[in-house]
């Protein structure tokens, strides 16, 4: 099969499962407890950093979900194309 492209939906589904697991794992990420009693300058900066990190986790989660869906759709499309070509004898 040198030089040919062939679908392998099990590989694609494995990648989808890995991305979905990453999303599930990140869903357990919670905002850290923060000190609201003191007014030290470092606390304010730490609060800002924590918010930025949680935002970043959310963006990664969204990207992983999108990538998983796209990989699954592309794998299905390639699989369908392979079946059509096989039926035509190509």
In this prediction, residue 85 carries a pLDDT of 86
In this prediction, residue 66 carries a pLDDT of 93
Q: What is the mean pLDDT of each run of 10 residues along the chain (90 residues)?
A: 63 87 81 71 81 88 91 89 82
pTM equals 0.66
How far apart CA 27 and CA 61 sit, in angstroms, is 8
How far apart CA 17 and CA 66 sit, in angstroms, is 13
3-state secondary structure of 42: helix
Residue 26: name the closest of 18, 34, 14, 36 by CA: 18
In this prediction, residue 19 carries a pLDDT of 87
How far apart CA 28 and CA 83 sit, in angstroms, is 40
In this prediction, residue 1 carries a pLDDT of 45
- 31: Cβ–Cβ under 8 A, 6 or more apart, which residues? 50, 54
Assess contact for 76 and 9: CB atoms under 8 A: yes
């Amino acid at each position: 099969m040198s030089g040919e492209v062939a679908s392998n939906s099990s590989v694609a589904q494995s990648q989808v499962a890995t991305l979905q697991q990453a999303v599930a794992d990140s869903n357990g990420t919670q905002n850290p407890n923060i000190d609201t009693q003191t007014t030290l300058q470092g606390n304010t900066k730490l609060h800002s950093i924590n918010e930025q990190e949680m935002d970043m986790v959310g963006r990664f989660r969204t990207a992983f979900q999108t990538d998983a869906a796209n990989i699954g759709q592309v794998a299905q499309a390639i699989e369908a194309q392979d079946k059509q070509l096989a039926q035509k004898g190509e």
